[in-house]
A and B are shown apart, each in its own frame.
Chain A
Amino acid sequence: MAAATEEQPASTGSVPRVEEVEKVHETTEGERLERDDDDDEILRFMDSVDGYLLLMDSLSSALRQGWLDLASARHSMGTSRVSSTLFDHKEQSAATKLQVIDSADMQSSEPNPHFVLSKWHLEEKPSSNDSVSAQDTKPTLRFRGSATTPEDGSHQSDAALAESLAGVDTSSHVQRARSKALSVYGALVSPKLRTAQISFETALEVIVELANSRSNMLASFSQIKDE
C-alpha cells in the first residue's frame, strides 16, 4: 500500500519530466541529423576533390599518349604535313559537341551544370529511351547475331539484328566523321595519326567527367560554406 501511494505522486510528477526528456531527445536527434547531413556533404566534397585529381591524372596520361602519337605521325609523314597551317578556316560546324543541363540540385545555392558529350554528332540516330545517353555511348557498341538467349526465338534475333544494323550504321557514320577530320592532312595518313585521334577522343571524355566533377565540387563547397 505504502509502495502504491508512494508510486502515485511519482507517476503524476513524471509526466512533465517525460515531456522534457522527449523535447531534449528531439533536439538532440535534430542536431544529430544536421551533423549527419554536414558530414555527408563534407564526404561528398572530399570525394569530388579526390575524383577531380584522379581524373586529372587520367587526362594527363591520355594527353601524353596523344602527343606521342602525334609526334610519331609527324616524324613519319613530315613536319609540313602535320601542321596548324593546314587547318581548314572555311565555315564548319564542330562534329563533337556538348549538352549542358542544370542538375537542379536545390540544396545548393551554387548552380550545378551537368555536361554530356556528344561525339561525332550522331544526328541520324533514332530517338531511344534516353537520347542523351545514346549519344554518349561508345560507337563500337555492337551486338553480334544470336548472342542473346534463344527463349524468344525469332523475335529476339530480329531485335539483335536491328541493334546490330544500327550499331553498324553508327559505327560507319563515326568512321566517316573520323576520316573527314583526318582528311585535312591528306588522303593517306599515318596510323599513328589515327591512334592520336583516338587518344584525344579519350581525353575529351575525361574532360567532360572533369567538368562534371568540378561542378559537383563547387556545389558541395558552397553548401558547406553556407552551413
Chain B
Amino acid sequence: MAGRPSIPTINSALIAIIADEDTVTGFLLAGVGNVDLRKKTNYLIIDNKTTVKQIEDAFKEFTTREDIAIVLISQYVANMIRFLVDSYNRPVPAILEIPSKDHPYDPAHDSVLSRVKYLFSAESVASDRR
C-alpha cells in the first residue's frame, strides 16, 4: 500500500537479552555477546538486586539502538515492565518474551498475542491450551 513505512536493511544486527544469569550465559556461549568501545553490552543479567528502573532503562536502550534487531526478555521480567512492553509497537527490534527456568511461558501474558487476541473468541487459545 502507498505510505507503508519501509524497514532499512541491516546486515549485521545484534540480539539483546534481558534475562537471568543462566539464560544470558547460554546465549553468550552461542556467540551473541557484544561489547562496544564504551563497554556497553547487549545483555542485562537480572538477579534479585536488579531494580525495575534498571530493567526499564535497559529495555528503552535496547529498543532505541539501531544495531539491535531482536530483544529477548524473560517473560517474568517483562511482567515487571508490562506497561512498557505492551506499549511498544515498532517492527524492529522485535521483542520476544521467552520462558525462564522458574517461570514457564504463558501465552496469556505475551504482548504480541495480547495485541491480536480480540480476533479470537472469548475463550482464548491460552485458556483452551491450559
Q: Number of contact residues on A: which range applies? A: 35 or more
B84 at the interface (CB under 8 A from A): no
In the complex, which residues of chain B have a beta carbon less than 8 angstroms from the beta carbon of A143? Answer: none
A49 touches B116 (CB 8 A): yes
B79 at the A interface (CB under 8 A):
no
With A82-B25, A101-B9, A118-B12 known as contacts, the answer to whether A93 contacts B34 (CB < 8 A) is yes
Would B94 and A214 count as touching, CB distance under 8 A?
A: yes
Q: Are A99 and B11 in contact (CB under 8 A)?
A: yes
Other-chain residue from A87, A199, A224 in contact with B28 (beta carbon distance below 8 A): A87
A70 and B22 contact, CB distance less than 8 A:
yes
Q: Is the CB of B5 within 8 A of A111?
A: yes
Contacts of B42 in A (CB 8 A): 94
Do A196 and B32 form a contact, CB below 8 Å, given A99-B11, A215-B94? no
A217 to B39, CA, bound (A): 36
In the bound assembly, the distance between CA atoms of A215 and B7 in angstroms comes to 12
Asked if residues A214 and B115 are in contact (CB atoms below 8 Å), the reply is no
Contact indicator A98/B69 (Cβ below 8 Å): yes
Inter-chain CB contacts under 8 Å: number: 179
Interface of B is mostly: mixed
Chain A interfacial positions (CB closer than 8 Å to B):
45, 49, 52-53, 56, 59-60, 63, 66-67, 70-71, 82-84, 87-102, 104, 106-113, 115, 118-121, 177-178, 181-182, 184, 193, 196-197, 199-201, 203-204, 207-208, 210-211, 214-215, 217-218, 221, 224
Q: In the complex, what distance in Å separates the CA atom of A53 from the CA atom of B24?
A: 23
Instruction: Report which of A45, A97, A108 forms a contact with B14, defined as CB distance below 8 A.
Output: A97
CA distance A45 to B4 in the complex (A): 19
Q: A94-B31, A111-B91, A113-B7 are in contact. Are A199 and B26 (CB under 8 A)?
A: yes
Map CB proximity to A onto B98-115 as digits: 1 under 8 Å, 0 otherwise: 110100110100001101
Cα A197 to Cα B29 in complex, Å, equals 5
A217 smallest CB distance to B (angstroms): 6
Shortest A86–chain B CB gap in Å is 9
Of chain B, the residue at the smallest CB distance from A119 is B31
Residue of A with least CB distance to B1: A109
Alpha-carbon separation in the docked complex, A91 to B29 (Å): 16
In the complex, which residues of chain B have a beta carbon less than 8 angstroms from the beta carbon of A115?
69-70, 94
Asked if A181 and B31 make an inter-chain contact with CB atoms under 8 angstroms apart, the answer reads: yes
8 Å CB contact of A98 from B5, B15, B99: B15
Point out residues on B near A: beta carbons under 8 Å: 1, 3-15, 21-37, 39, 41-42, 45, 69-70, 72, 91-92, 94, 96, 98-99, 101, 104-105, 107, 112-113, 115-116, 119, 125, 129
How far is the CB of B5 from the nearest CB of chain A, in Å? 5
Q: How far is the CA of A184 from the CA of B96 in the complex (A)?
A: 27
How far is it, in angstroms, between the C-alpha of A121 and the C-alpha of B3 when the chains are bound?
Answer: 35
In the complex, chain B residues whose CB is within 8 Å of the CB of A181: 28-31
Complex CA gap A82/B1 in Å reads: 51
Q: CB distance A108 to B1 under 8 Å?
A: yes
Report yes or no: B96 in contact with A90, Cβ–Cβ below 8 A.
Answer: no
A178 to B35, CA, bound (A): 18
Task: Report whether A45 and B119 are in contact in the complex, using a CB–CB cutoff of 8 Å.
Answer: yes
Q: Distance in Å from the Cβ of B81 to the closest Cβ of chain A? A: 19
User: Which residue of B10, B92, B98 contacts A59 across the interface (Cβ within 8 Å)?
Assistant: B98
CB distance from B12 to the nearest CB of A (A): 4
User: CA A87 – CA B125 in complex, angstroms?
Assistant: 40
